[in-house]
Structure 1
Amino acid sequence: MPAAIPAPERLRVPHQSGAASQVRRWLRESLPDLPDEVRDDLLVCATELVSNAVRHARPLPGGDVCVTFELGPSDVEVRVVDGGSRTHPHVCAVNLDSAHGRGMFIVSKLSADWGARSLGDGTQEVWARIPLR
């Protein structure tokens, strides 16, 4: 029997509202051995990053966003690359009555670290590092 082909560590999804569910499914299938609590935190962070890219940024030239992950010895990092936006991702003051604005606050609380940077070609990358506990 041939050896299983490892899951890709990169996924391109359409720049639309269903993108986050595709990314969650891909991460679950790609990282089945993560402890449940780590996987849950990763899925929430990935959902927020992808949702923010769809809501606030332009798509990449192909009409999509690119999501990658890297599993390290002490954490798993998820990165989302989009076509850039006029604003820089930041943590907002949390208002529990607001329907929006809590995404990066959630990411900041679940991750060991996160950040955003312009890639110089008009695109931007936002990432979060989830500790393996």
Structure 2
Amino acid sequence: MNAEPQHPHTREAFYRRDRRSVRLARDFTRSALTDWDLASRSDDVLLCVSELATNALLHGVPPGRGFALHLALHLDDDTLRIEVHDSGPGEVGIPDAAPESEHGRGLMLVAALADKWGVGERNPGKFVWAEFSCDRGAARFLHGAVLPWPE
């Protein structure tokens, strides 16, 4: 993992093609959510990071490559955006998983939990993103921050 200091409201990390990278990506995200006081959607965000990182490892990262995780908190509308970038080919869509199947539900979970999600192209590869509306005001109140008294 290679994490570099970023602007206070963006974070990036790169992970090797290794199954332990999913846990590392989730831990990295949990740390950012704590720093940004975003407890309200943390379970949804962490599950989506796990699913997108797993999909990148299983379907998008060629041998000898890795994937990148980008987190961005947009303060103007309290939206958190996560992106998982890989260099592999392939289209991304919600599969039509059979009820008895043990695979094929990751993107269905992302679609159900995120407020918005989609896929973008990059050269080489693609990125899958998800956005979450977050109530940072409630989080600051819960963590004991001083809020201005309404007039």
User: Shared topology, TM-score over 0.5?
Assistant: yes
Q: Let me know the Cα RMSD of the aligned residues.
A: 2.1
Query: 1:94: how far off?
Result: 4.1
TM-score, with structure 1 as normaliser: 0.84
**Bigger Rg, structure 1 or 2:** 2
Q: How does 1:25-44 map to 2 (within 5 A)?
A: 25-32=27-34, 33-35=37-39, 37-44=40-47
Higher mean C-alpha displacement, 70-79 vs 103-112: 70-79
Tell me what 1:77 maps to: 81
Contact 2:9–2:73 (CA<8 Å) still a contact in 1? Answer: no
- Structure 2 residues without counterparts, runs of 5 or longer: 1-5, 136-151
One-letter amino acid of the counterpart of residue 38, structure 2: L
The 1:116/1:82 distance shift into structure 2, 3 A limit, reads: same
How many residues were matched structurally? 125
**Do structure 1's residue 88 and structure 2's residue 91 form an aligned pair?**
yes
- Structure 1 residues without counterparts, runs of 5 or longer: none
TM-score, with structure 2 as normaliser: 0.74
Tell me what 1:51 maps to: 54
Query: 1:20: how far off?
Result: 1.1
Tell me what 2:103 maps to: 100
**Aligned partners of 1:77 and 1:95: how far apart in 2?**
30
**Do structure 1's residue 19 and structure 2's residue 21 form an aligned pair?**
yes
**Percentage identity across paired residues of the two chains:** 26
One-letter amino acid of the counterpart of residue 52, structure 2: L
Contact 2:69–2:82 (CA<8 Å) still a contact in 1? Answer: yes
Query: 1:31: how far off?
Result: 1.7
Contact 1:94–1:105 (CA<8 Å) still a contact in 2? Answer: no
Query: 1:132: how far off?
Result: 1.2
**Aligned partners of 2:50 and 2:132: how far apart in 1?**
13
Contact 2:10–2:73 (CA<8 Å) still a contact in 1? Answer: no
Tell me what 1:118 maps to: 121
Q: Deviations over 1:77-116 (max 9, x none)?
A: 100110122x311112343421100000000000011111
Tell me what 1:131 maps to: 133
